[in-house]
Amino acid sequence: MMAGMALTDTQDSAEARARNALARADNPAIDDARALARGAARLLAALGVAAIAEFTLPCGRRADLAGLGRKGEIVIVEIKSGPADFRADAKYPDYFAWCDRFYFAVSERFPASILPEACGLVIADPFGGAVVRDSPVHTLAPARRKALTLRFARCAAERALRAL
């Protein structure tokens, strides 16, 4: 009985180690999405765009980063931690209807050639980033912009209140 339990514990431990290995930042096949988001958010701030993470859009999709520019422009940044993350996620076109500009943010070692040319590209690390390819502008309708701006402001205010 004890031998069977030890085998199960060993198997569980091996599975846990395998899962943890996939999520580690030093795994060459995957980058730390949180660190990329931090760098991309810092870049947006430097460009005059106030960003919040995990912003839920009216369609139910959740943008990794959503930003509001000085002139009211809406920017969405989708973080991709590796090629498998990009290939497994076909929802990014759903974001186009909810922003003026759309970017992918990836690390320097990400194979950028697999990303669509029609999207902007940010290369980021935990400390900042750079716009490598600018996003085409798709101007939102005024009513949609107003609704998104109000939603963004309320989300940011609620998060600030919870942080107190």
Write out pLDDT tens, residues 145-158.
999 999 999 999 99
The answer to whether the predicted template modeling score (pTM) of the entire model surpasses 0.75 is yes
pLDDT, tens digit, 9 for 90 and up, residues 54-80: 999 999 999 999 999 999 999 999 999
Q: How many CA atoms lie within 13 A of 25 on its CB side?
A: 8
Residue 114 makes CB contacts below 8 A (sequence gap 6+) with 83, 86, 87
94-128 pLDDT, tens digit per residue, is 999 999 999 999 999 999 999 999 999 999 999 99
Distance, first Cα to last Cα, the chain:
52
The dihedral region occupied by 48, where left means phi > 0, alpha psi between -120 and 50, and beta the remainder, is left
